[in-house]
A and B are shown apart, each in its own frame.
Chain A
């Protein structure tokens, strides 16, 4: 039987939804592929057409939520007028808002996935890449609008923001304040700081400073090093264990 793409998408969503429910109710271990399939009304084998492993359902969940967040952001009419800080904050708030109904599921699965150094590297990477695209969009727009200077260590900054995102979600999971106000305030204060650092181009300036040191102090010492060529060669030989240069 051939099924349409729409139907496929719907089934996929249903499986994720049921998996989330079962994991909230009975924990990660007791939710089995068979159990999920049964509750979703699929044959035991059909579910594997959608997800090869139970873990892959988790990854799909997080990937979907990122996509949903993007859709929600698109609904905000003047999002383009927001500062980079406001855009990032809105993105994180929307993401947490989408997580909220499944908070217990997030509590069970989030650390398991994102904090363990495991064999799932490849699947995390696809989530991370999606996240990176979103953040990069925000950065590119800000840089185009000349709100921030072009960043030299863009890649490093994305990694930092990714780590920040993980940290924020974990903080949120532990936040017991009314309406998770503590998380809101933390996000506000910390992103304020992060964005000021980015706007001031601190990373660029550090790079400038480092290259200044390198040029003026390392490169200019090269002359001195040359003079001690013989000594260096002796040391080198010692290391390489040969008599040749």
Chain B
């Protein structure tokens, strides 16, 4: 077997994590032990090597844990550097692939929720799941009235797992030089994950999007409240293929362009009008219907922004695209930096940021951006973010910014995979 085995039991989880802690810890110790005998330069390079090596170790261990830990890893990767390639691959593999719940547990959960066996509640209930969700799995069912529904069932005790996983991760990263920087982000991740386990809340999110996201080619499924609880959520079943599956069928480029446009419309409209985005750009969350519309599902992870943040973000975008020096002021307004920075450091950061903005404006250079013709588009930011990472102690941790970037970046990676041609310019960000 080529794939790395996924530890399932809690016990093994602990072992894997402590393994990571021991490995990282061990390296930090070597670093500390070495320190007195090193010259200043060597100290710096030793420290750098340490942080790169241990980042790798952490990613390896976290990807072994999957599930919640994977989400944390996903988040950390944003903080430490822009998605290492191997890790990104692991992430892709994890889409829709969580070890399934067996039928005995499915029955038990439904019995707990409905006080009845599933066959007495539904006209039809498929005991085998047809898709995995982030913290559970989805079953097809037919109500007694003949409605086709998708029933998402949560793994029992997942809340505790999240808490213990995060405790582990906090322990694992403690020896890190960047500990203090990562910590607020982790709190945010934990909060989001716990929120994601509350299906009642997810139902509310869904209704919010159903009411406000009025786009012609987007379908937000109906909610079947009678069957919902905090661990089970019933929504309309949308016929179609998940985006990643759909891409595999080699659809014509026109179809792909159309789908990409809808995806982008969803993002832009949610951000600037709803001030609330679907923050989980996992291809499994987009169902492509036979008539080329998108069924938007899984509202567990959404992110709301306040008006001030949106204004600043919009300003930042416009400044970048106009190539104006205001750009730096906008960065300051997002309070992205800590207060006391020497002029020299400031200059260095701004120079890199300038390159970042140059790269970013490439998407807007022409009316249409063709991902097929810009195959190199994602090589540059990786380098730039690595450079920026050197200065990360001067940055404030900005969960809002990270969620937004993660979603946007995730979307662009999907476009890259689809090789589409799309209008990135939009009326909110581009003053043509």
Contacts and interface: CB of A to CB of B under 8 A. Distances in A.
A78 B127 contact: yes
Contacts of A86: 102-104
B8 interface: yes
Contacts of A188: 102, 104-105
A85 B102 contact: yes
A14 interface: no
Interface string A61-97: 0000000000000011110001101111110010001
Interface stretch (B106-114, B214-222, B362-370, B419-427): B106-114
Chain A CB count within 10 A is highest, among B102, B105, B108, B117, for B108
Contacts of A179: 112, 156
Contact of B107 (A93, A181, A185): A93
A182 B158 CA distance: 11
A86 B106 CA distance: 10
Interface residues of B, number: 17
Contacts of A88: 104
B432 interface: no
A90 B104 contact: yes
Interface in B103-156: 103-105, 107-108, 111-112, 117, 119, 127, 156
B157 interface: yes
B156 A90 contact: no
Interface in B146-204: 156-157, 160
B197 to A, nearest CB: 12
Contacts of B8: 189, 192
A88 B8 CA distance: 20
A228 B160 CA distance: 65
Contacts of B107: 76, 90, 93
Interface in A197-240: none
A177 interface: yes
Contacts of B119: 76-77
A184 B157 contact: yes
Main secondary structure, interface of B, reads helix
A82 B103 contact: yes
Contacts of A82: 103-104
B9 interface: yes
Contact of A97 (B103, B111, B157): B111
Nearest to A191: B104
Contacts of B88: none
A93 B105 CA distance: 9
Contacts of A93: 104, 107-108, 111
Contact of B117 (A76, A78, A185): A76
Contacts of B157: 177, 181-182, 184-185
B161 to A, nearest CB: 9
Nearest to A90: B104
B112 A90 contact: no
B117 A75 contact: yes
Given A83-B102, A97-B111, A184-B105, A189 B127 contact: no
A150 to B, nearest CB: 24
A145 B105 CA distance: 22
B10 interface: yes
- The 9 nearest A-B residue pairs measured at CB: A89-B104, A181-B157, A90-B104, A86-B104, A181-B156, A93-B108, A86-B103, A184-B156, A86-B102
Given A93-B111, A179-B156, 8 more contacts: A76-B117, A85-B104, A89-B104, A90-B103, A90-B107, A90-B108, A179-B112, A185-B157
Interface of A: 75-78, 82-83, 85-90, 93, 97, 177, 179, 181-182, 184-185, 188-189, 192
6 contacts: A93-B104, A177-B157, A184-B156, A185-B157, A188-B104, A189-B8
